[in-house]
Structure 1
Amino acid sequence: MVTRSPESGEMLAPPLPRRSRERLPALPPYKSLAQLIRAPFLFFGVCRSSRISMADENFHSGESGASATYPMQASALRKNGHVMLKGRPCKIVDMSTSKTGKHGHAKVHLVGLDIFTGKKYEDICPSTHNMNVPHVKRTDYQVIGNNDGFLSLMDDAAVTREDLKLPEGDLGKEIEKRNAADESFHVTVLKAMGEESVVGVKAQVN
């Protein structure tokens, strides 16, 4: 329905739904019938633009945060460094480079041990290709207790945590033995790819 301004007699755009009025800027008065006819197309164009902006905002916010890995050329990797092999964070224990002929690319043979499980993994990659390298964080904690299979740990800032399980095998037995003897000692915790685990024991440094 076409309405006119009581003050100027200019034709006005049809009223927007209450929800749209709250979210979108008011449309100006229209001085010709052609402008008024185009009003619905302008309205839907503004709505679509608004939805795209919101989608872009959500998309970028979902990408925030540092990546768990970074790329490195295979030829730049070194023994005792870290690399992703078969989707697992590994420490490189052996690597060798072989040439495949006059026109072929040199290939790097990597052997690594999973930093959490110790399982062996191998892979071969062209020397010029990139491999994913995990961000590995190493932290030492003082052990202050062991409750129901979970360690009570304290860092250098005196912040405590009790969310890490006592490791299995000989490492776990050594921690239990030292704790039962009321020794002062630290454990080394590795964190990578969203995983975190105790991987070693070291004596208290005075």
Structure 2
Amino acid sequence: MAEMGDIGEDFEQADAGSSTTYPKQCSALRKNGFVCIKGRPCKIVEMSTSKTGKHGHAKVHLVGIDIFTQKKYEDICPSTHNMDVPNVSRKEYTLSDISHDGFCSLMTDDGDVREDLSLPDGDIGNEIKAKFEKDESLLISVLKAMDQEMIISYKAATN
């Protein structure tokens, strides 16, 4: 039989990273909210609930768009079951430099600098680069969910 210490150690290994999501009852989810579908953080774009059938639960049909890849995912879940909801946060940084390999130097309000995020592909990345080359001051919005971060938008910095 396992002793108390052994069980506690197993729990620590099992729930590493659990703070990236939290459970929420399927019926409490809302359109434009967030949910994990197939292990990916998604924004809910469509939701419909079927009536309870002769075998019990009402089912919720969810359609979500991955917040990082824009890929579409679908899932069906009984309305009384829990689904994981990602903890999504958005932070703004001042853009101070763009390196030749596309990584951005971003400054926090405290003056700390981080250089681990690259310009996004596509229009947003091109627009940020063009405005930066014209010496425009920009605030960069970074979305974070499930230990993944990405630059998603920008706006002119007002000094």
TM tier, smaller: 0.7 to 0.9
**Which TM-score applies when normalising by structure 2?**
0.87
1:149 counterpart = 2:107:
no
Shift of 1:61: 5.3
Partners of 2:58 and 2:8 lie apart in 1 by: 44
Deviations 1:15-39 (A, max 9, x none): xxxxxxxxxxxxxxxxxxxxxxxxx
Give matches, 1:72-91, under 5 Å.
72-91=24-43
Shift of 1:112: 0.9
Q: How many residues align?
A: 156
What is the letter of the counterpart of residue 177 of structure 1? Answer: A
Give matches, 1:1-206, under 5 Å.
55=6, 58-59=9-10, 62=13, 63=15, 67-101=19-53, 104-147=56-99, 148-206=101-159
Shift of 1:143: 0.6
Larger of the two Rg values belongs to structure: 1
Judged with a 3 Å threshold, the aligned counterparts in structure 2 of structure 1 residues 106 and 60 are, in CA distance, closer, same or farther, namely closer
SS at match of 1:168: coil
Higher relative contact order (CA 8 A, sep 6+): 2
Shift of 1:159: 1.0
What is the letter of the counterpart of residue 176 of structure 1? Answer: K
Match of 1:5 in 2: none
Judged with a 3 Å threshold, the aligned counterparts in structure 2 of structure 1 residues 105 and 64 are, in CA distance, closer, same or farther, namely closer
Deviations 1:117-155 (A, max 9, x none): 111111111111111101111111111110021000011
Calculate percent identity across the aligned residue pairs: 59
**Structure with higher helix content:** 1
What is the letter of the counterpart of residue 188 of structure 1? Answer: S
Shift of 1:104: 3.1
Deviations 1:79-135 (A, max 9, x none): 111000111000111111121435532111111111111111111111111111011
* Stretch deviating more after TM superposition (149-158 or 100-109): 100-109
Partners of 1:57 and 1:86 lie apart in 2 by: 29
What is the letter of the counterpart of residue 122 of structure 2? Answer: G
C-alpha RMSD over aligned residues: 2.2
Task: Spell out structure 1 runs of 4+ moving beyond 4 A.
Answer: 52-66
Judged with a 3 Å threshold, the aligned counterparts in structure 2 of structure 1 residues 122 and 57 are, in CA distance, closer, same or farther, namely closer
For structure 2, the 5+ residue unaligned runs are none
For structure 1, the 5+ residue unaligned runs are 1-48
